Structure 1
Amino acid sequence: MQMRPAELAAIRAGDVDVAFRRWERPRVRVGTRMRTAVGLIEVTSVDRVAVSSLSSADARRAGAASLAALRQGLDRLHPERPVYRIGLRYAGVDPRHALRESVPDAAEIDAIVAALDRLDRASPIGPWTRATLLLIDELPATRAPDLAQRLGRDTPSFKQDVRKLKERGLTESLDIGYRLSPRGAAVLDHEGHPRPARARSVPEPGIPLPHIGAAATRALTARGVVRLEQVAGLSEGEVQALHGVGPYALRHLRAAMDAAGLTFRDDPGASPQTGVTTETS
């Protein structure tokens, strides 16, 4: 079930708790938990409904501008299909987030290594797990097609395999490309794979940028901005003027900065040097 970033953010905030889709048959079941960019989204109900029965309350719960807008959206594609109302709720953070930050002990590493060996043996292209981990370690935040080309692979199957590594907490998806997690690094180090320091990107200290979309991420990283603390050194107007930074990116940047006690440089109450929120008595 595909959902737009704005829809996901609204579900997490509790502002949206239903979605409407035209399907030949239900594609999700009650109790299904979907991993998304904002965390786990759980399906609480799935009901077939008539378009004529929809109300303004349904539109508000779905985040639509109006009942007319909701109906128009449903009629835009496949109007011959039945309509389903899907109840949704935010079910917490993705457990893979905590997993990838946990450094495994010896027993866990043995289990991970055995799992990677099984993936290699089952693959029609031969062993791929270590080469993929090493390439992501060498080239973090690099487009998946570019990484796939380096390995002589097609992009769809490469991305599918990277998801298998992500499920085990070994990699993390970025708005552009991936990076190796501490868990993944521990596995490579344990096996003695060469990871020269000069070949790896040393993370900048501070809070990473939130997921704001590939275009906005490229715009900020091209300016050397890769951490929230660096965003706080810019005015909101400067960020907004960057090509690729739109309302969605600004909203998520502001939310992440609020959570970290940071503001844009020109916000009232911000320190001129740091963008850190200051208290006034």
Structure 2
Amino acid sequence: MMIRPAELAAIKAGTIDLAFRRWARPRVVVGTRLRTSIGVVEVTSIEQVSTSQLRAEDARRAGAASLAALKEALAARSEDPAWRIGVAYAGPDPREALRASVPDAAELAAINARLDRMDASSAYGAWTRETLDLIDLNAGVRAPDLAAQVGRETLDFKKDVRKLKELGLTESLAIGYLLSPRGEAVVDAGLPKPRARQPRTPGTQLPRSIGAPATRALREAGVTTLEQVATYSVEQLAAMHGVGPIAIARLGEALAEQGSELADS
């Protein structure tokens, strides 16, 4: 169930608690927990409705500009039933805390045993340590480029990286990946001595929704966190080649979630 960034921000703020979708059959159930860019969103209710039953209150709770706008959005795929879905913010993604936790010796042994099982069950062969090491040495490099380095198909490579992310070992950047502190500890435990790494810039990562061109432009300007973005005005961002109106709007939305905003002109 895809939810737009602005709607996610409103769900977190509590100003949106409904969503409407056209589905042939329900794709979520009550209790489904969706991991999103703002944390976990939980499905609190779901029921089939007729568009003739919709009211202005439904539109308001779904963040639509008007009842007419909500009905227009549901006009596509009219052969499928319409569903009213209750949604609520359910807290931060639990993987955030997991990524930051450095494992002790017992946890390291358990993680390595899990990685061994993942290697043994893979048709590709041993890939877990290879992938962790590749990401460690190539932070922020595009997934297709990483996959090419080890002769793998991009989609299969990305699926495997997601498995490592579930263990709290990697983080997804707007472009590419980064080892988490937990992942760094796992890699270092297998080396003669810990690897020298660039210090992390304190702050919140750039949202992936801004797109690769905007991310590259910001990186070239030395901007890698939302806190740094807040020192720029709309005009300064727009002057960067690759940072367009949509990227600026999404940066503004991400800052608003933190109670911040772009600098004045």
Backbone CA RMSD of aligned residues: 2.0
For residue 151 of structure 1, what is the amino acid of its counterpart? V
Partner of 1:6: 6
1:138-177 paired onto structure 2 within 5 Å = 138-177=137-176
Number of residue-to-residue matches in the alignment: 259
Give, in whole Å, the separation in 1 of the partners of 2:193 and 2:154. 25
Give, in whole Å, the separation in 1 of the partners of 2:34 and 2:11. 12
Give, in whole Å, the separation in 2 of the partners of 1:149 and 1:16. 42
Residue deviations 1:76-133 (CA, integer Å, cap 9, x gap): 2x21000011100000000000000000000000000000000000000100000100
Residue deviations 1:40-99 (CA, integer Å, cap 9, x gap): 0000001000011011111111111111111111112x2100001110000000000000
1:154-233 paired onto structure 2 within 5 Å = 154-192=153-191, 196-197=195-196, 200=197, 202-211=198-207, 213-214=210-211, 215-233=213-231
Distance verdict in 2 for CA 1:132–1:25, change over 3 Å? same
Q: Which runs of 5+ in 1 are unaligned?
A: 268-281
- TM-score, normalised to structure 2's length? 0.91
Q: Which runs of 5+ in 2 are unaligned?
A: none
Give, in whole Å, the separation in 2 of the partners of 1:57 and 1:172. 39
Give, in whole Å, the separation in 2 of the partners of 1:100 and 1:185. 10
- For the Cα contact (< 8 Å) 1:240–1:250, is it kept in 2? no
Distance verdict in 2 for CA 1:255–1:44, change over 3 Å? closer
Give, in whole Å, the separation in 2 of the partners of 1:247 and 1:79. 31
Partner of 2:62: 62
- For the Cα contact (< 8 Å) 2:21–2:74, is it kept in 1? yes
Distance verdict in 2 for CA 1:223–1:51, change over 3 Å? same
1:44-59 paired onto structure 2 within 5 Å = 44-59=44-59
Give, in whole Å, the separation in 2 of the partners of 1:159 and 1:195. 26
RCO higher in structure (CA 8 A, sep ≥6): 2
For residue 253 of structure 2, what is the amino acid of its counterpart? R
Distance verdict in 2 for CA 1:42–1:263, change over 3 Å? same
Partner of 1:90: 89
Task: Quote how far apart the aligned CAs of 1:177 are.
Answer: 1.2
Partner of 1:274: none
Partner of 1:278: none
- For the Cα contact (< 8 Å) 1:33–1:41, is it kept in 2? yes
Distance verdict in 2 for CA 1:205–1:82, change over 3 Å? closer
Q: Percent identity between the aligned chains?
A: 54
